[in-house]
Amino acid sequence: MANSTDLKGQTGLVTGSTSGIGMAMARALAGAGANVVLNGLGDPAAIEQERAAMAAEFGVEVRYHPADMTKSDQIADMIAFAERELGRLDLLLNNAGVQHVAPIEDFPIENWNQIIAINLSSAFHSIRAAVPIMKAQGRGRIVNLASAHALVASPFKSAYVAAKHGLYGLTKTVALEVATFNITCNAICPGYVKTPLVESQIADQAKARGVTPDQVMRDVILAAQPTKKFVEYDQIAGLLLYLASDAGASVNGAGLAIDGGWTAE
Ligand code: NAD
């Protein structure tokens, strides 16, 4: 009998999987036997190298679609591409995200618009296109990579916190709509993970607060996490694979904190 995280023959699509958490989750899905569609920005040659290496390492089909998560037509095309190329769409992981840190009165309007588009609206567009495919299949898993900032706020992150709270609201709404179709929709809400996004935030926070990067790490970033440790990729992957499995079928509309206790405070 297949073990609980055997995704052989299934297809998973991960937005923003050319870096950080998205890349780690794409690798975890491939490691569990799923065929994978990658997406994200970056140097085309480096992306092709990663795509081919992932396919060879895990013995699965791996495709790449370059949809820009600010463009609804490209997102719809990416979802259709996944089904056309790999025959199914079992798991959609909305992961692409960007950050900008600034006091609200100085927050650039273009950064607000970009963060709402990539961190929130892109999930609306991808889910809108994926649900008919999942309904026709009779099974599906939608996972939104939200954040502890879907549950609590921090200063200087108005757009990010608003987008992530919105993403959790979208998650709950979709969960109610798809519940009788053997489809689930959940949000994973991690605390800090040491990815390129966080590395650049450390520098931005230092500027906004007028302190050194070391002080931001100690007094801002890890101060929020009672464990005083970054969340690891494998820990998020464990939750994702559980949600993807049949054992996760009754988890629906949840905002699952994986934050070392941050949001317990
Ligand atoms: P990252 O910067 O390492 O990766 C972001 C990915 O999104 C990249 O692949 C990038 O190419 C892609 N992307 C950005 N703009 C895009 C666009 N317009 N179109 C297509 N792809 C685009 O960041 P990360 O830390 O791995 O973050 C991934 C997700 O996890 C984000 O949604 C982030 O908010 C969330 N998150 C991160 C942390 C953390 O501590 N790193 C914590 C909680 C939640």
Residue 130 located in a structural domain: yes
Residue 140 located in a structural domain: yes
Same domain, 243 and 205: no
Q: Per residue in 163-185, pLDDT tens? A: 999 999 999 999 999 999 999 99
Same domain, 126 and 39: yes
- pLDDT given for residue 2 in this prediction: 43
- Active-site residue among 64, 160, 168, 233? 160
- pLDDT given for residue 217 in this prediction: 84
Same domain, 187 and 223: no
User: Measuring from atom 12 of ligand 1, which residue has the nearest CA?
Assistant: 16
Which atom of ligand 1 is nearest to 66's Cα?
20
pTM of the predicted model as reported, rounded to 2 decimal places: 0.96
CA–centroid distance, residue 98 to ligand 1 (Å)? 5
Same domain, 217 and 86: no
Same domain, 123 and 219: no
CB-defined site of ligand 1, < 6 Å: 16-22, 39-42, 68-70, 95-98, 118-119, 145, 147, 190, 192-193, 195-198
Residue 264 located in a structural domain: no
Q: Spell 112-148 as b/e; 16+ CB within 10 A means b.
A: bebbbbbbbbbbbbbbebbbebbeebebbbbbbbbbb
Residue 2 located in a structural domain: no
User: Measuring from atom 23 of ligand 1, which residue has the nearest CA?
Assistant: 197
Same domain, 186 and 59: yes
Which of 50, 92, 98 gets mutated to test ligand 1 (max ligand atoms within 8 A of its CB)? Answer: 98
CA–centroid distance, residue 198 to ligand 1 (Å)? 9
CATH of residue 54: 3.40.50.720
Same domain, 239 and 186: yes
Same domain, 108 and 210: no
User: Measuring from atom 36 of ligand 1, which residue has the nearest CA?
Assistant: 147
| Distance in angstroms (rounded) separating the CA atoms of residues 177 and 160 | 26
Same domain, 22 and 45: yes
Closest CA to 50 of 76, 71, 30, 70: 30
- pLDDT given for residue 176 in this prediction: 98
User: Measuring from atom 21 of ligand 1, which residue has the nearest CA?
Assistant: 40
- pLDDT given for residue 4 in this prediction: 59
Question: Which residues form the domain of 205?
Answer: 193-230
- pLDDT given for residue 214 in this prediction: 87
CA–centroid distance, residue 116 to ligand 1 (Å)? 13
Which of 14, 15, 21 gets mutated to test ligand 1 (max ligand atoms within 8 A of its CB)? Answer: 21
Identity of the amino acid at 180: T
160 is catalytic: yes
Same domain, 50 and 179: yes
| Distance in angstroms (rounded) separating the CA atoms of residues 189 and 167 | 11
Query: What's the Rg (C-alpha) of the chain?
Result: 18
Same domain, 83 and 131: yes
Q: What is the DSSP string of the chain?
A: ---TT--TT-EEEETT-SSHHHHHHHHHHHHTT-EEEEE--S-HHHHHHHHHHHHHHHTS-EEEE---TT-HHHHHHHHHHHHHHHS---EEEE---------GGG--HHHHHHHHIIIIIHHHHHHHHHHHHHHHHT-EEEEEE--GGGTS--TT-HHHHHHHHHHHHHHHHHHHHHGGGTEEEEEEEE----SHHHHHHHHHHHHHHTS-HHHIIIIIIGGG-TT-SPPPHHHHHHHHHHHHSGGGTT--S-EEEESTTGGG-
Residue 265 located in a structural domain: no
Residue 27 located in a structural domain: yes
Residue 114 located in a structural domain: yes
Residue 15 located in a structural domain: yes
Count: domains in the chain? 2
CA–centroid distance, residue 180 to ligand 1 (Å)? 31
146, 163 contact by CB (below 8 A): no
| Distance in angstroms (rounded) separating the CA atoms of residues 86 and 9 | 9
Same domain, 208 and 96: no
CA–centroid distance, residue 35 to ligand 1 (Å)? 21
What is the residue-level pLDDT of the chain in tens, covering all 265 positions? 345 579 999 999 999 999 999 999 999 999 999 999 999 999 999 999 999 999 999 999 999 999 999 999 999 999 999 999 999 999 999 999 999 999 999 999 999 999 999 999 999 999 999 999 999 999 999 999 999 999 999 999 999 999 999 999 999 999 999 999 999 999 999 999 989 888 888 888 899 899 998 899 888 889 989 999 999 999 999 999 999 999 999 999 999 999 999 999 9
